[in-house]
């Protein structure tokens, strides 16, 4: 009992060999969930790709539920930290619009090219049984808080519309997962286009 198990920092990766194995399994699971959905991915699939037999997986994660929850929570943590870091890098006097554009870019980056966790989260959230969805809600609310602050200046008149507006923005960004081919799309251009649609006026009042 010599070793004091120091409180694990969520994002200091792989301090021990066991931790590295756990992260490797999570990586594999996230990639499979992202591309094939929740129910279609079996514990056998994940174990095989990790080079082990199925029951060995249960040494690292006590159930499929625990495994998927770990992927889901990490998915939100990744995008939240990515966006927060990008905002922190801005000059402190940056206005509402550059802050929004910066956050939008960071979100798309986390979603499309940083890892499989955030995309897996967005893809399979709606497929999960309600108990698993509820487990991910605290993380999600913490992330929404960032966007509430960012979008508050666009809702000056009616703050009651703010939660709905947050949902519209996050929904529109996440929807790009459904149709963007990450290999063939310029993410910078996509971010600019989304910012234009969401923040600028699209139509001069030509017609009636």
Q: In the complex, which residues of this chain contact DNA (CB under 7 A)?
A: 1-3, 16-18, 21, 41-45, 51-56, 58-60, 62-65
Phi-psi region of 126 (alpha: psi -120 to 50; beta: other; left: phi over 0): alpha
The four Cα atoms 77, 82, 88, 93 give a dihedral, to 10 degrees, of -110
- Considering the complex, what minimum distance in angstroms separates the CB of residue 165 from a copy of itself? 7
Smaller CB separation from DNA, 39 or 197: 39
Name residues whose C-beta falls within 8 Å of residue 63's C-beta, 6 or more positions apart in sequence.
Answer: none
- Residue 104 binding partner per list DNA, a copy of itself, none, with a CB distance cut-off of 5 to 8 Å that depends on partner kind: none
User: Tokens representing 146?
Assistant: 């960032």
- Considering the complex, what minimum distance in angstroms separates the CB of residue 35 from a copy of itself? 10
Contacts of 140-145 with CB under 8 Å at 24 or more apart are 140/76, 142/76, 142/80, 143/76, 143/79, 143/80, 143/83, 144/170
- Considering the complex, what minimum distance in angstroms separates the CB of residue 150 from DNA? 38
Smaller CB separation from a copy of itself, 89 or 167: 167
Query: For binding to a copy of itself (CB under 8 A), which residues are involved?
Result: 37-40, 93-100, 123, 125-127, 129, 153-154, 161, 164-165, 167-169, 171-172, 174-176, 178-179, 190, 193-194, 197-203, 205-208
């Amino acid at each position: 009992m010599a070793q004091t198990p120091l409180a694990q920092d969520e994002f200091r990766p792989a301090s021990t060999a066991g931790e590295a194995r756990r992260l490797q399994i999570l990586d594999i699971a996230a990639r499979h969930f992202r591309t094939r959905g929740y129910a279609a991915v079996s514990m056998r699939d994940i174990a095989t790709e990790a080079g082990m037999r199925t029951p060995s997986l249960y040494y690292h994660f006590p159930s499929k539920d625990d495994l998927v929850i770990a992927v889901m929570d990490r998915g939100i943590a990744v995008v939240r930290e990515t966006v927060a870091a990008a905002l922190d890098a801005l000059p402190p006097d940056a206005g509402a619009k550059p802050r929004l554009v910066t956050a939008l870019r960071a979100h798309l980056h986390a979603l499309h090219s940083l890892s499989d966790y955030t995309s897996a989260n967005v893809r399979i959230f709606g497929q999960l049984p309600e108990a698993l969805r509820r487990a991910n809600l605290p993380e999600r609310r913490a992330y929404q808080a960032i966007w509430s602050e960012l979008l508050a200046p666009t809702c000056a008149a009616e703050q009651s519309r703010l939660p709905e507006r947050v949902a519209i923005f996050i929904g529109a960004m996440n929807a790009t997962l459904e149709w963007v081919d990450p290999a063939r799309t310029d993410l910078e251009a996509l971010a600019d286009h989304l910012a234009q649609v969401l923040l600028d006026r699209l139509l001069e009042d030509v017609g009636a």
